[in-house]
Amino acid sequence: MKTTQRFIAIIAIFVITSYFNPVTTQAQGGPVSFQVFYDNLSPYGQWIDMPAHGYVWIPNVGPGFAPYSTNGYWANTDMGWTWVSNYEWGWAPFHYGRWDRDYNLGWFWVPGYEWAPAWVAWRQSPGYYGWAPLRPGIEIGAVVGGTYNPEPQFWVFANERYMGDRYIYNYYAPREDNVVIINRSSYIRETYVDRGYGGTTYMYGPGRESVERSTNRPVERVVLVERNEPGHIVRGNEISIYRPHVENRAGIRPTKVEEVRNVRPERERQENYQKSHPEEHRMEEHHDMQRNDRRTEPEHINQTNEQRSPQNQRTEPQQNQQRTQPQQNQQMNQQGNQPQQNQQKNQPQNQQKNQPQQNNQRNQPNTKNQKTQPQQKNQKQNTQPNKDDKSRH
């Protein structure tokens, strides 16, 4: 009897432990090859043969696309900050391989063998967390050593208060500010070693405590769960994602391969995609409007003004005064530069203020007040210049 009870207790503990701590370090299923990428990504883009990289993939997306920027967000897991893409094909290009950009073709993805929550480098500057995709051939050692310096436009910087927010793309800094932000930033060098996945090393991202201080709220921990087929599903604080071991096998290729010379330029492809997917375009416009609204936050304005030039720093207090006290500044400017206009503009106001007192004291009808108004005007016109003279001196 006791043996049976112990056996049941052991099974119960195993079930509970498996439920609350699902396996996240051991990929399920046997190893696969690049063929799984070739077949599953073909409906969502084009495979082309580039001499420097072999077969690379160009996604069918709308204007403004950038990897680890568009249509996704960051989730904190035991393995580091994980990019959760809203694209159906996001399970592969954001967790394997590298991204690069061609002047004519735009962004393209080079398949890789190792899985990671995201293949990016991280930076932190006052008010921002930033990240950039790793280019082909870049190893983690270059990031840790601080020698990886891609073009400024590779970087995405977001307001630190919204790290982990599912709508973080509404809080990106304008890319034209990247140079200034990069110069004030430093690399985040914390790494993670996935012991159960061949010892793969990648960048962990901002520390949990650092993000909690920046956001002033606890960071939600998300659990990664294995998935047996291509794709990913998000359920509450659980992400089920397909991440098989990938082997290097010879003799495989995409079913359809385009030559580089036959691929249309990025802008033309994105415009055509936009026309064929109007719903996605309307959603992107809505996000752009929200993003522009968020850019006017006071702290963002202060940061960019301080970063741009000393002249802006000097003029910013005056601009803030003008925004908060427009009427007072207008009156001061008018008194200093246009005394005659001030006399004319202030006369009706003074008359309106003084007339009730005169009416109350004399208790005369309105017709008599009207007769005495010209004299009052003359008196005020005679005395007004003296006031202006005093204020100037």
What is the percentage of the chain residues whose pLDDT exceeds 90? 53
Do residues 93 and 291 lie in contact, with contact meaning Cβ atoms separated by under 8 Å?
no
Closest CA to 25 of 115, 133, 101, 104: 115
Lowest mean per-residue pLDDT among 71-75, 183-187, 245-249, 314-318: 314-318
3-state secondary structure of 233: strand
| pLDDT score of 43 more than 80 | yes
Confidence of residue 343 (pLDDT cuts 50, 70, 90): very low
Non-local CB neighbours of 58 within 8 Å, separated by 6+ positions: 45, 46, 48, 105, 106, 107, 108, 109, 263, 269
d(CA 385, CA 160): 56
Lowest mean per-residue pLDDT among 49-53, 124-128, 170-174, 369-373: 369-373
Write the DSSP string, 155-222: -EEEEGGGTT-TTGGGGBPPGGGHHHHHHT-EEE--EEEEGGGTSEEEE--S-HHHHHHHHTSPPPB-
Average pLDDT, the chain: 75
Confidence of residue 331 (pLDDT cuts 50, 70, 90): very low
Residue with tokens 């601080």: 146
The whole-number pLDDT of residue 278 equals 75
Domain boundaries, the chain: 26-301
Paired strand residues for 237:
none
Do residues 152 and 178 lie in contact, with contact meaning Cβ atoms separated by under 8 Å?
yes
| pLDDT score of 28 more than 60 | no
Q: How many residues does the chain have?
A: 393
Non-local CB neighbours of 177 within 8 Å, separated by 6+ positions: 157, 304, 307
| pLDDT score of 254 more than 70 | yes
Confidence of residue 118 (pLDDT cuts 50, 70, 90): very high
What mean pLDDT do residues 17-27 have?
39
Angle at CA of residue 136, ends 132 and 141, nearest 5°: 70
